Amino acid sequence: MSHPSARTRVVREPQRAVYDRATIYEILDEGFICHVGFAIDGQPYVIPTSYGRKDDMLYIHGSAASRMLRHANSGVPVCVTVTLLDGLVLARSIFNHSMNYRSVVVLGTAFAIEGVDEKLAALHALSEHILSGRWKDARQPNEQELKATTVLRLPIEEFSAKVRQGQPVDDEEDYSFSTWAGVIPLDMVAATPLSDSRLLEGISLPEYAKKYSRK
């Protein structure tokens, strides 16, 4: 169990706070889109992007031309958030409606990866995080593509999670109100893969695509 910093301690609904590194990693490993918050010249920005985790390091991918990544060589203070939505919680009162969710906040300074070998390793980690097994089947990045891509590394050191699970919680007097209450579970489910129209003959659907799941 890690101890939260003053910046990551959950203030609102503190009973939902989780500071366990294993739980943090479970949430990060199930997601693959994060939102990265940063400020440039006093203007805050939040951008969605893909990410990957390898051990205690978070890798954030983007174009070298992006506003955030242009400032990454000297380090960029960031706030990275990942949220998984597990269900809609319908209470008897509108005020007590909620959602079941698992979310993570990671704070720190992200740095651009410069070395070719380290960048390739980071891109491999990011690719495997999103779709395990795909890296070895696809063409590897060439020199031009590597130059056009920036990957940030962010140590997972200052973090917290917030988790809400379970049934609705109504005011006691509202339990006699005549309306349906409960949870609508939500899950990300992969549909049947669609082959590209220019796929070469004789190429079969790989197992990692056929059985894709974030669980």
32 three-state secondary structure: coil
Residue with tokens 């129209």: 197
For residue 28, the surrounding DSSP H or E stretch is helix 21-30
77 three-state secondary structure: strand
170 three-state secondary structure: coil
Does 123 or 11 have the greater pLDDT score? 123
Confidence (pTM): 0.89
Rounded to the nearest integer, the mean pLDDT of the chain is 90
Sequence-separated (6 or more) residues with CB below 8 Å from residue 138: 127
Q: Between β-strands 149-155 and 98-112, what pairing exists: parallel, antiparallel or unpaired? A: antiparallel
Whether 65 has a pLDDT exceeding 70, the answer reads: no
What does DSSP assign to residue 201?
Answer: T
CA dihedral 16, 17, 19, 21 (to 10 degrees): 50
What's the mean pLDDT in 175-189?
96
CA-based nearest residue to 153, from 94, 73, 43: 73
Distance CA 105, CA 21 (A): 12
pLDDT at site 69: 64
Whether 105 has a pLDDT exceeding 80, the answer reads: yes
What domains lie within the chain, and their CATH numbers? Answer: 14-189 (2.30.110.10)
Place 167 in a pLDDT band, splitting at 50, 70 and 90: very high
Whether 73 has a pLDDT exceeding 70, the answer reads: no
Whether 28 has a pLDDT exceeding 60, the answer reads: yes
pLDDT at site 1: 59
123 three-state secondary structure: helix
What's the mean pLDDT in 162-177?
96
Highest-scoring range by mean pLDDT, 10-14, 18-22, 68-72, 182-186: 182-186
Distance CA 118, CA 128 (A): 15
